[in-house]
Structures are given as structure tokens and as C-alpha cells.
Structure 1
């Protein structure tokens, strides 16, 4: 089974095009270091919650949109080596590919896939 990294972020809505450019370059880098598939999804139907929700989790402002992203890797070992290489890759340094959102509010995690249909 594969391994998946998941991300949720609040992106200033005015930065949508900047985010897409950031994501395109990032996808090239991730694939160069072993990722199988990258998905970037711009929030369309992301309701506020009462107890918890995507917007609450990333402290999403009225002028921001929730983005959901995932990266699929063949294995956790390839993911771990890939991340190490990605962090060293100059194409991912802030001066080359700045994040057009507040990275301090980014939520991320790695997941063992338990079902794939």
C-alpha cells in the first residue's frame, strides 16, 4: 500500500494564481523526488463548524480560502527520503518558491493507506 501526506491551509483568496504557480513548481519537485501523485484542491464547499471544521482548524479569515492538498508516495521509506531531498532542493527555498500563505497555520500529516479502491 502507498503512503499519503495531507495538508490543509488558509490561502488569501487574492493569492489564488500565486498559489497555483507555487503548487505547480512544488509538484515538479515532489515528483522528481519520488511522489506518484499530487492533488491541490481550492475550497468550494467548506462550511464553518460549531465545534471543529477545516476553516476553524487553519483559522481561516473572511478573505481567505481553505486549500486541501495531498501527495501520494509509493512507500513511507520513499516518502521519508523524498522529503529529505525536497527540503534541500533549491527550487523549494523561499527565495525561489515563496509560500503565498501563512505557513504557521498549515496543518499537515503523514498517513498509512489502509484502503485503496
Structure 2
């Protein structure tokens, strides 16, 4: 079953990781309620700077931060677009979306939508 995936890479201050986890748990429940197949948040454990590029370099990781790699899976891009429209209109999420209240620097986050190439 081919799926569509939104992927995210976020620099999170280590001391704000508990707040990020709480935010992600709330957001994940909302995405799942609106139909997402999967909502996964992972914290870097074995991620080192590379010679040319890497996860730490991609977000200009600072010494007191850790990389969080996340994805949300859907059945299709059409479904993703419909679910995201519902999620963005959900008042429970709106209360978390103020960039000043985020437990990370939103300017160094990056994300995108992907068609699956291989699924085993």
C-alpha cells in the first residue's frame, strides 16, 4: 500500500524536550483523530555532524539542543491535504501554534511531503 508522508526535522533545546513531547502527544492525537495513519516523533540518539551535511548541520544545531525527526503517514496526498485542513481548523491545535510559545526555533525547522518509493 503506497502511502504519503510528511517529514519534519526540528532542533529542540534539551531542557524543552519534555514540553516538546507534551505538545507532540497532543498534536499526534489530533492528527490521528482526523485520519492520519501514523504519527511518529523520534529524538536523535546516534546522529553526528558530517563532513558536508547532516541532521545537526541541517538545523544549525546548537550545543544545548537535540534533533527531532518526525513523520506523519497518510494513504495519499489527497488524504493528507484533507486531514491537514481539518487539523489546522481544529481549535485544540490553534492554541499550540503561536511561534513564540513553541518549545523550539521554528525558523530552523524544515519539512516536506513525500511519495513513498519503497514499502516493505
Counterpart check, 1:73 vs 2:74: yes
Following superposition of structure 1 onto structure 2, how do residues 14-93 of structure 1 map, counting pairs within 5 Å? Answer: 14-93=15-94
Q: How many residues align?
A: 116
Q: C-alpha distance in 2, partners of 1:13/1:96?
A: 19
Q: C-alpha distance in 2, partners of 1:80/1:70?
A: 15
TM-score between the two structures when normalised by the length of structure 2: 0.91
Deviation above 2 Å: which 4+ runs of structure 1? Answer: 95-99
Is the CA contact (8 Å cut-off) linking 1:90 and 1:96 kept in structure 2? no
Gaps of 5+ in 2: none
Three-state SS of the structure 1 residue aligned to 2:111 is strand
Q: What RMSD, in angstroms, separates the aligned Cα atoms of the two structures?
A: 1.2
Is the CA contact (8 Å cut-off) linking 2:96 and 2:102 kept in structure 1? no
Gaps of 5+ in 1: none
TM-score between the two structures when normalised by the length of structure 1: 0.93
